[in-house]
Each structure stands twice: as structure tokens, then as C-alpha cells.
A and B are shown apart, each in its own frame.
Chain A
Amino acid sequence: MLRYTLRRLASAVPTVFIIVTLTFFMIRLAPGGPFDLERPLDPLIMANLNRAYNLDGSLWSQYLTYLGNLLQGDLGPSFTRRDFSVNDLFATGLPVSILLGSLALLLATVIGVILGAIAALRQNSSLDYAIVGLATFGITTPNFVVAPLLSLFFGVLLGWLPAGGWSQTDPIYWVLPVLTLALPQVAVIARLVRGATVEALRSNHVRTARAYGLPARTVVIKHALRAAMLPAVSYLGPTAAGLLTGSVVVETIFGLPGIGRYFVQGALGRDYTLVMGTVVVIALFVIVFNLIVDLLYTFLDPRVRYD
């Protein structure tokens, strides 16, 4: 198991390298640069800026410089936010995104699994149809619709919760963003768990458990639900990576200082280092969470062995 983990971590290095390389050259292919304004800058100032930000050398030398810095953990200075390095931006933004993302992940998993299991056990009942309907609603409604509605309803009309804003210490500010992030995931997880549970309940080993007179609770929880968790777990890996790295929509609507918006803002402003930094962080999250899922699988399913 340890050997497998090390091997997987080792194989992450070339993966990240390829992602970094592709992103580096792709963003440079986009027209324009970080200091282009509607009125062109004085060429002398432009040249100075380019020199200051290390944009004056050949593309190749810039790439090598970036790689060298990256190896030392330096993501470079942000081009559009003066006086901030990309590392600074992530140091303040990432904890916010991780906090909200992990709460949303927890909420979505707990509620999703419960709803999915209930729907499967009451298959084709009105409760099942209600849950499936709710799940379809959750999947199809985009978060830029859900977020303003929640904000309007609970924040403005009822006044129960702040309509936006952020406080690191007051959880009341976390509620609406977490709900917005969790809702579509609740829906997907509920559907996955429902389908897998229905299938597990029809399986031969569940029939065996029933034929041997085990109580219904044991049959369902021990023999059906555990098997039904497997597809949800594989889904949760990449989803966790996505949730923990923030969402541009949710952060914009609720005014949160997370890192989700950096990717879009960085790309629009040609903030090369910010885009690259976001890509590297997201790639690392995806790699780590996929590894966690694969390791989790060995605990859930004894048939999975890596060594």
C-alpha cells in the first residue's frame, strides 16, 4: 500500500509537468498581455514593466524561469494585483475556499446518501418520486440562479441570514454559500446512491442475507448500502477537488474572498502567473483526491488490491 501510494505520487510529477507546460504555452497564445490598456502605454514604460515582470526574454527562457521558481514553491508575482505574489493571494483565499468547500462536501454527502438510500428503499413510492424530482431540480438549476434566490429570500426578505459578505469567525456568513455549493452535489449523490442501492438490493448476496433470516436493518445497512457507497465514493474524489478550490459564481454573488474567482479574473486580465498558479493548485487537488479515493476503495472493497 505504501509502495503504491509512493508510486502514485511519483507519477503525479510528470502529470503536473505536462499540465504546467500546456497551460503556460496556451495562455501565451491568447492575444494581448497583462499590461495592455485601451490606450497603448508608452513603449518605454512597457519595456520597463516587461523587464520588471520578467516578460522580456524569449518565451522559452520565461518558461524555464517559471519552472525553476515553481520547483522552489514560488508561483511568481501577480501581474494585475500589484504588490501581491500569487502565493500571498492563495495564502489568504485558499483557507476560505477549503472551509466552505469541505462544509459543503460534508453536507452534500450526508444528505445525499440519506436521501438516496430512502428513495431506493421506498422505490416507486411518492417519496421516491419526490426525491428523484428534487434531485433533477438540483442538478438542472445552475448556481447563478440558486445563489441570488437564496440571498434574496433568506437575506433580504426574511432577514434571517446575511445576504452576502464574509467573516472568518462568524458561521452565519457561511450558511448560504455552503447551501449553494452543496445543493447540486446533494442531487448527484442522492441519484448515484439511489441507483446503486436499488441494484444492490436486487443482488444475489442480499437475497442470501434475506434467505438466512437476517433483520431488515442488517440486510440494508450491512449488505446493501456498503456496496452502494462505492460509486458515490468515486464521484466524490474529483468533486471534492472542485468544491475545495472555490467557485467563481458563489464567490462573486456572496462577495467571498476565496480563490475560485482568480482563474476567471486571471484569464481575462492575462494575469499569466495567477492563471498558472490556479491551474497548479487545482491539478494538485485533483491528483490528491483521486489518490485518496483509490486508497479508500481498498478499505471499502476487499477485491481491490494494488500491491
Chain B
Amino acid sequence: MEPILDIKGLRVTFQTNDGPVEAVRGIDLSVKPGETVAIVGESGSGKSQATMALMGLLARNGKATGSALYRGQELIGMSERNLNKVRGDKITMIFQEPMTSLDPLYRIGEQLAEPLRFHRGLSRAKARPRIVELLKLVGIPEPERRIDSYPHELSGGQRQRVMIAMALACDPDILIADEPTTALDVTIQAQILTLLAELQQRLGMAILFITHDLGIVQRFADRVYVMRRGEVVETGATADLFAAPAHPYTRMLLDAEPAGRKLPPPENAPVLLDGQNVEVVFRSSGGLFQPADELRAVDGISVALHQGQTIGIVGESGSGKSTLGRALLRLLPSAGVISYKGRELTNDPAAMRPMRRELQLVFQDPFGSLSPRMTVGRIITEGLMIHEPALSARERDVRAGEALAEVGLEPGMRNRYPHEFSGGQRQRIAIARTMILKPKVIVLDEPTSALDRSVQKQIVDLLRDLQQKHGLSYLFISHDLAVVRALADYILVMKQGRVVEQGQTEAIFDHPAQDYTRTLMAAALETTRFRQEDPAPVLP
């Protein structure tokens, strides 16, 4: 069959202050009618920019050269007017950011009507029944009512469904899905993927799937292109590529699932951090004539963290995971009795200060949590200035070098600034900043979520090594069950501020008791099914 999309020698170059940067370096790619093709690669591989180029959506400083033929029509360099007859009609796109891809100021019915009005010449009134039908098709409940909703009245998953409805409005030949589930909770991810697969079967369009998630590729794609640094390094039928990856980069990606197990600490390990009936209530203050509002983010949870133990806290976004982690360190005003090594932790910041040294926190965002105006050395040693004020500048410098070496970075890097480092390196810096204080308990708040899979794996290995070496206790907060399974020996499942289920990691994964847990598991395992037998457990 003739391909409907035929890309040859596509290049994308961005003019930057540091000279031209080539994001895509001459790729060839084709899509046949009805086929599902995946482009996989890690961040910066150019996989998104390649499709942005053929949709004419590059940033102002970007330029595409080469050829992209849609049914014989050259898309690269096509005038905006002619391109507008193709995009949104023959080729449509859904994006990674469901929360912001719809205009917040217009009702979804109005936005869904736009492609129908401009490509099909339908009036608003004529478009309406078609839109209701589309909303029904993508599984939006009560479409007759929802058509008049604003985007902010819908959840992230529903907004992505609306985007899919928009993509289907004009019966496209090709649907480009650019990481359509990355920003969604695992359970919602699975629903959206299933929906896309069903719709493709019913409607028969081709799907070009851009993703970093190999589980999705294996489940959905007929053919795969693996991209790295702007080039296609390997391509082939999905089954062949997974069975016998030829390129070392593909093998590395396949191997990048976090693996290994952590065994629980010995029975007699002492309890380090003990929280009884921890409660956090957020109150909106209300105005002079306004009633106050309250939200119970953490609703009476008890946790006992043993020495050497890792407790994984899992749950959907908004379930109160992060709030619980902060509350246990009294970083938020919280009710309930919390003690560390038998001493009670209070909500008094001054009394907490000397205890802070041993109770540390690592954040999710390795880009936002390091000050851009401080050298890495100063960032790492800032805590020492408070907790070991007697140290001289020279001694602090030595300690900074040691801490960097401990997390696998060059000691010489301490004189550089955060922006010179990659996401994974920054997360290592954040861990070094914590480790330099010789903590006992670390709350890890989604420390791997913003990172590529291969980098995630390295951070997971690092955290496990550090734990073994220093006998640390972790409270590991994550929505990513693959990572939790590799790191935690005990799991709390949270929903709406409460613990719905808890137990040893194996027990939770093998025999989840609650429907909610089962949904979480099923969703996570769906997308990681390609994983081979896990290697032998890592002993603590």
C-alpha cells in the first residue's frame, strides 16, 4: 500500500543565541493508511519537533527543510493558507498538555465547532448534533449538557477526550498523538489509550504516536521509529524490534525499566518516625463577608517508618501524598502526634530546626528546586552553614566535593551553575544537598517523575545504594508504580486523604484488596507489560 505520509530527509533547525541548533537531522518516515506508527525517544530526541514541522507549528526561530508528502502534497514550505486546508481536517493532532490545550475562555462546544465550521462549512447550529455525537463517541458522559461546559469544569482525562473528539471531527486520515497520556494519572492513561485503540478500529485512520513509553509502543504500534539526538537510529515492526533490538540505544531503552526489589528491614529494626492520626486541613480564609472553606487533605493517617525501611506512598494526583510527606516532617501545620526517635515533633518551627538536619526532603522538580544564581557548591553546602556553623569555607568546599562524588558526579562540578546540568544530574545535585547533612529519614517527593526512563533507573539505583550504605529510611512518594515496586518494601495506597490499603510491596502488588488499588495496578502494568522477568532481588 502507498504511504499517505512520506517524510524524506526532514531537518529542523532552530536559530538560537548560541548559533543554530539542529533538532531533527534528516529523518525518513512513512505512514500507510490505517497504520499505527510510533516514534519513541527520550526528551530532546527531536520526536515532537519532527511532527510540529509538518504541521507548520514550529516556534518562530525554527525552520524545516526536506520533504514531507501528504498524498503527494508537499507540506514543508506550504503557504499558511494551503496548510490550513490540511491541518485540522486531513491531519489532526492531540497534545501532551490536556490541561492547557483548550482555550479556557470558550465553551467546549464552541471550540469543537471551529474545525467543522472552517473545514466543512457547517453553521454553529448544524455542527451541534455532530459535536454531541463526537462527545458520545469519546465517552464523555451527558454530552448534551457537557457541550456547554468550559474546559476548567472538566478533569484532565475528560479534556483529553475532548481533544480527541476535536481531532476526529473531520474524519482525518492521520491522527498525530504527541505524548497524549504523559500528563495524566495512570488509571486515566489506560482509559485514553484504550479509547484511541477502539476509535482507530472503528474509524480506520492512521495514528502517529509520539511517546517515550515503550509499554505504550508495544501495545499499540505496528511499526516503530527509535529517535535519538535528531536521528532515527532504528526502525522496524514492533514485534521484531522488541524481540531483537539491533541498536545499542534501543537495547538501553528496553532495559531502562527500574528493576530489582527491596527486602524489608529486619523485624527488630527500631521505629524512627512515628505518626499517629496525622491530619492536615486547608482552610481558605474567607473574606469579611465570606464564609471560610475547608479541605481535609490528610485525614487521620498513621505511619511507622522503621530504620532502613522504604515506605512507598502511592495514589492518584490530589490524593494527599505530598501533603502527608510534608506533614510528617512538620513542614506544614498538622494535627496528630508525630515523634522521631521517641522525641515529639511539634509545629513550632524554632523547636524543629535542630531536628531538621536528620529529616530531609527531595523534591520532584529538579529544575525549580535549585537556585539558578548559586553555584552547585554553594547550593549543596547551604544546609551546613546552619547545621555545622563551625566549619570553615575550605572544609565546606571539601565536603561539597565528597557529596558530589557520593552521588556520582565530578567533585570539580561544584563551581558550575545548575543550568549547565541535565535533569538527571540536577536531581543528583538535589540528593547531594540532602546527603551532605547525613540525614536519617528522607522524604522523596516524586524524585524521578520529571526524568526520562533511562535516567530514572540510574536515580533509583543511586537511592538504593545510598540507603544501603547509610542505613537510611525513605518515605517515597510516587504515582509511578514501576519505580515504587523497585524501591519500596512497604506501601500505603492513598485516596482522598485516607489510606485505603497498606502492606508489604509484594502483597499489595500480587493481591490488591481494594478496587482502587487494582485499578492503579492494572493501569500501571498495562503500560509496562513488555518487561521481562525481573532480576533477583537486591538485598538490603
Expressed in whole angstroms, the Cα–Cα distance for A214 and B56 within the complex equals: 13
Check if A214 sits within 8 Å of B92, measured CB to CB.
no
Look across to chain B and name the residue whose beta carbon is closest to the beta carbon of A223: B103
Check if B97 sits within 8 Å of A213, measured CB to CB.
no
- Asked if A218 meets B114 with Cβ closer than 8 Å, knowing A302-B105, A303-B152, the reply is yes
| Minimum CB–CB distance for B63 against chain A, Å | 16
Expressed in whole angstroms, the Cα–Cα distance for A210 and B58 within the complex equals: 11
Look across to chain B and name the residue whose beta carbon is closest to the beta carbon of A15: B288
The main secondary structure of chain A at its interface with chain B is: helix
Check if B86 sits within 8 Å of A300, measured CB to CB.
no
**Interface assignment of B150: CB less than 8 Å from any CB of chain A:** yes
Task: Return 20 A-B CB contacts under 8 Å, by A number.
Answer: A11-B288, A14-B288, A207-B57, A207-B95, A207-B101, A208-B102, A209-B114, A210-B56, A211-B55, A211-B87, A213-B85, A226-B105, A227-B103, A227-B105, A300-B105, A302-B104, A302-B107, A302-B150, A302-B152, A303-B150
Check if B118 sits within 8 Å of A213, measured CB to CB.
yes
Residue numbers of B with Cβ under 8 A of A are 55-57, 60, 80, 83-89, 92-93, 95, 97, 100-107, 114-115, 118-119, 150, 152, 163, 166, 287-290
Check if A203 sits within 8 Å of B166, measured CB to CB.
no
Partner of B95, one of A204, A301, A302: A204
Expressed in whole angstroms, the Cα–Cα distance for A285 and B288 within the complex equals: 21
Check if A205 sits within 8 Å of B115, measured CB to CB.
no
Expressed in whole angstroms, the Cα–Cα distance for A127 and B57 within the complex equals: 24
Expressed in whole angstroms, the Cα–Cα distance for A123 and B61 within the complex equals: 12
Look across to chain A and name the residue whose beta carbon is closest to the beta carbon of B115: A212
Check if A214 sits within 8 Å of B100, measured CB to CB.
no
Partner of A205, one of B60, B80, B92, B103: B103
**Interface assignment of A215: CB less than 8 Å from any CB of chain B:** yes
Look across to chain B and name the residue whose beta carbon is closest to the beta carbon of A303: B152
Expressed in whole angstroms, the Cα–Cα distance for A245 and B257 within the complex equals: 67
Check if A205 sits within 8 Å of B101, measured CB to CB.
yes
Given pairs A204-B101, A207-B95, A223-B103, 14 additional interface contacts (CB within 8 A): A11-B287, A203-B100, A204-B97, A205-B100, A208-B101, A209-B103, A211-B55, A211-B87, A218-B114, A218-B118, A226-B105, A227-B104, A227-B105, A302-B107
**Interface assignment of A82: CB less than 8 Å from any CB of chain B:** no
Q: Which residues on B sit within 8 Å (CB–CB) of A39? A: none
| Minimum CB–CB distance for B430 against chain A, Å | 28
Expressed in whole angstroms, the Cα–Cα distance for A208 and B288 within the complex equals: 41
- Asked if A213 meets B115 with Cβ closer than 8 Å, knowing A226-B105, A301-B104, A302-B150, the reply is yes
Check if A204 sits within 8 Å of B114, measured CB to CB.
no
- Asked if A216 meets B80 with Cβ closer than 8 Å, knowing A11-B289, A207-B95, A303-B152, the reply is yes
Look across to chain A and name the residue whose beta carbon is closest to the beta carbon of B99: A204
Expressed in whole angstroms, the Cα–Cα distance for A14 and B60 within the complex equals: 52
Check if A205 sits within 8 Å of B85, measured CB to CB.
no
Q: Which residues on A sit within 8 Å (CB–CB) of B86? A: 213
**Interface assignment of A10: CB less than 8 Å from any CB of chain B:** yes
Check if B150 sits within 8 Å of A212, measured CB to CB.
no
| Minimum CB–CB distance for B380 against chain A, Å | 34
Partner of A214, one of B84, B107, B163: B84
| Minimum CB–CB distance for A215 against chain B, Å | 7
Q: Which residues on B sit within 8 Å (CB–CB) of A218? A: 114, 118
Q: Which residues on A sit within 8 Å (CB–CB) of B104? A: 205, 227, 301-303
Expressed in whole angstroms, the Cα–Cα distance for A288 and B287 within the complex equals: 18
Q: Which residues on A sit within 8 Å (CB–CB) of B87? A: 210-213
